[in-house]
Amino acid sequence: VSEYDLLGAVKIPFQDAKTQYIDEDGHDGFPAFGFKSGSDVKIAHRQILPEKLPSEFSVLISAKPRSRKGGFIFAVVNPYDTVVGLGVRIAPEGTSNTVISLFYTDTSHIASQIIANFTVNRFNGKWTRFAFRLSVENVTLFFNCNETETVTVKREPLELIFDSASTLYIAQAGPVIGEPYEVSLQVVDLM
């Protein structure tokens, strides 16, 4: 099983110490990367991710949201910065809930596609672990190590192929889509 650490996009020393920092209060006492509004962490996707993802894979995230506003935890965006090929977005819903959205868009589409939305209790200011398991027909959310919900999906193609010039953004979705996220991240892995 291959594992891809998306936080490998973070360069040390930080590009901008005003918008990036080390969160000493990470999950289980380990440090994490902190991102403030205006951070611009990006890298050519092919420096971390393969050309295509297999039909079944998982996305694992350990995050502590710092803002109720929401935004992207990560996004692999096309060369025009207009379509999210793969990404996770957090958004508030009412006063007590949060929607976690998984984006999965083939290169033939001209608009970003959300293949699964999951509503959970709001977790601002709390370290939270969650994961998506993508199988051929389903997406399952695990929230704080508990299997929370499974939705049936139709993915075409089953193997997600990225445009060779796509960019991986952390805590945002690039200059066009935007949606920056104030968050501390300890784990953002694909496997």
Distance, CA of 13 to CA of 46 (rounded, Å)? 22
* Whole-number pLDDT of residue 39: 96
DSSP assignment of 43-106 equals EEGGGTS-SB--SSEEEEEEEEE--SS-EEEEEEE-TTS--EEEEEEEEEETTTEEEEEEEE--
Comparing 16 with 90, which gets the higher pLDDT?
A: 90
Total domains in the chain come to 1
For the chain, percent of residues with pLDDT exceeding 70: 100
pTM of the model: 0.95
Q: Which helix (H) or strand (E) holds 175?
A: helix 174-177
Q: Would you give the distance in Å from CA 77 to the centre of its chain?
A: 12
Instruction: Give the torsion through C-alpha atoms of 136, 145, 29, 47, to 10 deg.
Output: 0
Give the structural domain span for 92. 4-190
- Give the domain CATH number at 127: 2.60.120.200
95-106 residue pLDDT tens = 999 999 999 999
Indicate if the pLDDT at residue 3 is higher than 80.
yes
Name the pLDDT band for 5 (thresholds 50, 70, 90): very high
10-65 residue pLDDT tens = 999 998 999 999 999 888 889 999 999 999 999 999 999 999 999 999 999 999 99
